[in-house]
């Protein structure tokens, strides 16, 4: 496999939660003193988001492979074996192969990024991810001319993923992106949270993160990435096409058929915390709106 060797940084080598939060305070003060230079602007944007606690991020999530309850993933995901782990990259690529996860991590540059996370169920978090740009991984495989879409597939292992004993989903879980969405600099493969290796319940050892889309697009525990010229049908689109489309862009002006998307409940804010307005494209409108210029976003939901 023709990897571009960069470093051997692992998520467990990055700052832990307490030091991470202290680092943000120190860097924010330094940025203010520097007159908001280029790095200062980036830090200032980071400072505007207050990260959700580790406990809330890791104990309240959807991962139906382990059950449909919000606490099922943290209760049962410990059964999942994540090492060794390989990711098959195939389809319209120059270097199709089963890529070892450890080799991928040696080839990639791990970064810390704080992103808003908005679930289609109208709750939200702010998560400090560690990971790398998906575009860098696709570059390793070599995307061929004529490719238009990326199809992702979650691990299917019912012996360890107890929720897969249910047949309400046609396992394995599948998601997809347009190629330009996949190559966008904001789109990342997350391998950690708060500098720690990503927990099983959050999609270990590697998951997709697309911050301007509803959370179900950010497929977990990925074992296959297929580059194709045909639009894949994602799992929820297949199950309920009238409710879940291919794009799943966060849009407060387009309601889910059964609830409003205009506001959201912030996890960790307490039972009586007020709902907050949902931002177009989850607050990333300036960066990604051009991807959908001229499209009817209520039709292409």
Per residue in 81-138, pLDDT tens?
A: 999 999 999 999 999 999 999 999 999 999 999 999 999 999 999 999 999 999 999 9
pLDDT above 50: residue 32: no
Sort 106 into a burial class: Cβ within 10 Å, 0-12 / 13-18 / 19+.
middle
Look at residue 172 in the predicted model and tell me its pLDDT: 98
Buried (b) or exposed (e) across 273-283, using 16+ Cβ within 10 A? eeeeebbbbbb
Look at residue 17 in the predicted model and tell me its pLDDT: 64
- Asked if 246 contacts 237 with a C-beta cutoff of 8 angstroms, the reply is yes
Predicted TM-score of the model (pTM): 0.88
108 secondary structure, DSSP code = S
Q: Which residues are annotated as a binding site?
A: 61, 64-65, 119, 154, 202, 207, 218-220
Name the pLDDT band for 33 (thresholds 50, 70, 90): very low
262 secondary structure, DSSP code = S
State CA 150 to chain mean position distance.
Answer: 14
- Note the CATH number of domain 11-292: 3.90.420.10
**Tokens linked to 20:** 């991470």
Of how many residues is the chain composed? 301
Q: Which residues are annotated as a binding site for Mo-molybdopterin?
A: 61, 64-65, 119, 154, 202, 207, 218-220
Average pLDDT of the segment spanning 223-232: 98
More confident residue, 203 or 27: 203
The whole-chain average pLDDT of the chain stands at 89
Number of other residues whose CB lies within 10 A of the CB of residue 223 = 18
Number of other residues whose CB lies within 10 A of the CB of residue 17 = 17
Look at residue 19 in the predicted model and tell me its pLDDT: 55
Residue 148 falls in which region: left (phi positive, over 0), alpha (psi -120 to 50) or beta: alpha
Average pLDDT of the segment spanning 15-35: 48
130/132 Cα distance (integer angstroms): 7
């Amino acid at each position: 496999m023709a990897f571009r060797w960069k470093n051997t940084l692992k998520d467990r080598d990055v700052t832990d939660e307490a030091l991470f939060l202290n680092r943000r305070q120190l860097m924010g003060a330094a940025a203010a003193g520097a007159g908001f230079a280029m790095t200062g602007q980036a830090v200032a944007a980071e400072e505007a988001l207050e990260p959700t606690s580790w406990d809330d991020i890791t104990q309240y999530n959807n991962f139906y492979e382990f059950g449909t309850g919000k606490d099922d993933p943290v209760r049962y995901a410990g059964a999942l074996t994540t090492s060794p782990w390989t990711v098959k990259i195939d389809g319209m690529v120059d270097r199709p192969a089963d890529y070892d996860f450890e080799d991928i991590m040696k080839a990639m540059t791990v970064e810390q990024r704080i992103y808003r996370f908005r679930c289609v169920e109208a709750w939200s978090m702010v998560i400090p991810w560690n990971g790398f740009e998906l575009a860098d991984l696709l570059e390793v495989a070599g995307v061929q001319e004529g490719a238009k879409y990326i199809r992702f597939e979650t691990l299917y292992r019912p012996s360890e993923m107890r929720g897969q004993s249910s047949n309400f989903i046609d396992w394995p879980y599948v998601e997809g992106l347009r190629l330009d969405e996949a190559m966008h600099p904001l789109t990342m493969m997350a391998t950690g949270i708060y500098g720690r290796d990503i927990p099983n319940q959050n999609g270990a050892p590697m998951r997709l993160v697309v911050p301007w889309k509803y959370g179900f697009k950010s497929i977990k525990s990925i074992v296959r990435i297929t580059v194709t010229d045909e639009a894949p049908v994602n799992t929820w689109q297949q199950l309920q096409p009238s409710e879940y489309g291919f794009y799943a862009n966060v849009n407060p002006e387009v309601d889910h058929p059964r609830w409003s998307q205009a506001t959201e409940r912030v996890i960790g804010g307490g039972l009586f915390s007020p709902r907050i307005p949902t931002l177009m494209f989850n607050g990333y409108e300036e960066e990604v709106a051009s991807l959908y210029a001229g499209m009817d976003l209520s039709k292409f939901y």
